[in-house]
A and B are shown apart, each in its own frame.
Chain A
Amino acid sequence: MAAPVVALKGVGKIFDNGVAALAGLDLDVREGEFLTLLGPSGCGKSTALRMIAGLSTPTSGALVWRDGASPEVGFVFQEPTLMPWARVWNNVYLPLRLRGLSKAEAAPVVGKALALVGLAGFERAFPRELSGGMKMRVSIARALALRPPLLLMDEPFAALDEITRTRLNNDLLALKAELGTTIVFVTHSVFESVYLSTRIAVFSSRPGRIAETIEVSAPLARGEGFRLSSDYADCCGRASAALNAAMGGAP
């Protein structure tokens, strides 16, 4: 098998306040996969994701990058995290601007990113004029602006209503199919993890580590039909069982 994009090897994290968030975490992120980190809240999923993003450093163990160093990475937070004073266009322009691109140079890229998330025509809106789902789309467009080969998403849809969330799940899969980006996605929803992923890493908590990984073999061209398939039900069952076991068998 090809070398993973990044391998977390025996990674541990003890925060300054003494909280051991992760211990002995081994996790490979494979090229082109949709990997979901599934676990109860507080089990260290965000910490692991932030490490991959370079926003946090391990106190033990190491991250090994296939290409020697981290590639361009996109990050989507649980909140849209937009700059409220900037129009949608300028929010998506931000990563390009920080890379020194002029507005003229960035214009086609920003336009494409907005089109990808279905927000063409909203360039001049301010974030507060948008719904929660649309804000999250802007956030995704911003993360995609530099066309990162690796996209990290930390419970991006957790605060959205069910209908919007389902819609964004489908759109995210379409995006993934179009761009081929490797995605690491954090969620605490079993159903979301199964619907989206090619592989699920189930975390156990205190300290966080991988309890089990589950492969979801169905091809990523998934539609609503997939939710009705036995494959889906089967994977949900396995993921739930793994999650329960990881949480100490509590029902």
Chain B
Amino acid sequence: MISRDRFASVTLPLAVFCAALAAWEAMVRWREIPPYVLPAPSLIGATLVKDWGTLSGSLLVTLRITFEALLAAVIGGVGFAVFFAQWKWVERSFFPFAVILQVTPIVAIAPLLLVYLESETAVLVCAFLVAFFPILSNTALGLASADHNLVDLFDLYRASRFKQLIHLRLPAALPYFLGGLRIGGGLALIGAIVAEIAAGSAGQGAGLAFRIVEAGYRLNIPRMFAALVLISLTGILIFLLFTALSRLLLSRWHDSARERAN
């Protein structure tokens, strides 16, 4: 049974992925497609190795901005959610701002931020803005959806609001928060990339998106693909990281992280 599961969940997708790469490689060679139109996977790999010095530096910049923005979004999102949960009027007064920030496309805000702020700060703020809302709204929802009977129980024992928050609302919100974190993590990367592209066209910045723009100007298509691969890998890494974190924190008690029994 185990080997069959493993086949379905690991071996099969891996085989399909390799087959797709091989088909790509074969097609490029067979049709003799020039690299400036579509580089073969092997060339992209070679470019990754050859340009690693430049690309790794940019990768670090993008990673740093993404995670800094995410950290700020977690602190801000959870902080505001807690405020919202404690005082309804705060929620009513401030939620519209959060919604406005959420519904306005980040591409539209980025140029404005670039006027006001230094480009690296602007990129950080863009990434923060997109990651902030899902974390805020998910955490706020989680804090509000603690079991009503448990809330009654805390009232019965005359627990202070603070104790209710610590012992009941925050743990109850954890699965929601982690869901928000997973969405926010992906969005922070997107926000960083979008803002970097906006900033990069102004001739500044050194993240992966900037490398793409730069390589585009020089028609260095293999390098564009190499940078793209690194961005995808970063996205996958973020996703896997937070999925693992969810599983670690929730597996013992929450249905979302439950291993289905046979």
Contact = CB atoms under 8 A, between A and B. Distances in A.
A128 B155 CA distance: 24
Given A77-B149, A85-B174, A126-B252, A94 B167 contact: yes
Interface string B55-86: 00000000000000000000000000000000
Interface string A70-111: 000101010101011110000000110111000000000000
A98 B199 CA distance: 52
A81 B153 contact: yes
Interface string B145-168: 001011011111111000100011
A127 B147 CA distance: 15
A181 to B, nearest CB: 16
B53 to A, nearest CB: 47
A13 to B, nearest CB: 16
A86 B168 CA distance: 10
A54 B156 contact: yes
A151 to B, nearest CB: 12
A126 B257 CA distance: 14
Nearest to A72: B157
B157 A98 contact: yes
Contacts of A86: 171
Contact of B171 (A75, A83, A99): A83
A55 B167 CA distance: 19
Given A77-B149, A81-B147, A81-B150, A55 B156 contact: yes
Contact of B156 (A53, A79, A83, A126): A53
Contacts of B87: none
Nearest to B170: A85
B253 A98 contact: no
B167 A84 contact: no
Contacts of A126: 252-253
B29 interface: no
B50 interface: no
Contact of A95 (B152, B157, B255): B157
A85 B171 contact: yes
A75 B253 contact: no
A55 B168 contact: no
A84 B254 contact: yes
A33 B252 CA distance: 41
A55 B154 CA distance: 10
Given A83-B171, A85-B171, A126-B252, A55 B159 contact: no
A174 B152 CA distance: 28
Interface string A38-76: 000000000000100111000000000000000001010
Contacts of A77: 149, 152-153
Contacts of B254: 84-85
Nearest to A129: B252
A99 B159 CA distance: 8
A84 B154 CA distance: 15
B236 to A, nearest CB: 29
B147 A98 contact: no
A98 B154 contact: yes
A219 B237 CA distance: 68
Given A54-B156, A73-B156, A81 B149 contact: yes
Contacts of B172: 85
A8 B175 CA distance: 42
B155 A55 contact: yes
Interface string B242-254: 0000000000111
Contacts of B159: 98
Contacts of B150: 81, 83
A106 to B, nearest CB: 14
A98 B155 contact: no
B167 A75 contact: no
Interface string B181-201: 000000000000000000000
Contacts of A55: 152, 155-156
Nearest to B157: A98
A96 to B, nearest CB: 10
A145 to B, nearest CB: 10
Nearest to B154: A98
B246 to A, nearest CB: 13
5 contacts: A55-B155, A77-B149, A81-B150, A85-B172, A94-B167
Ranked nearest first, the 9 interchain pairs of A and B with the lowest CB-CB distance are: A81-B149, A98-B157, A84-B253, A85-B171, A98-B159, A77-B149, A85-B253, A126-B253, A55-B152
Given A55-B156, A81-B149, 8 more contacts: A50-B152, A54-B155, A54-B156, A55-B152, A83-B171, A84-B254, A95-B157, A97-B167
Interface of A: 50, 53-55, 73, 75, 77, 79, 81, 83-86, 94-95, 97-99, 126-128
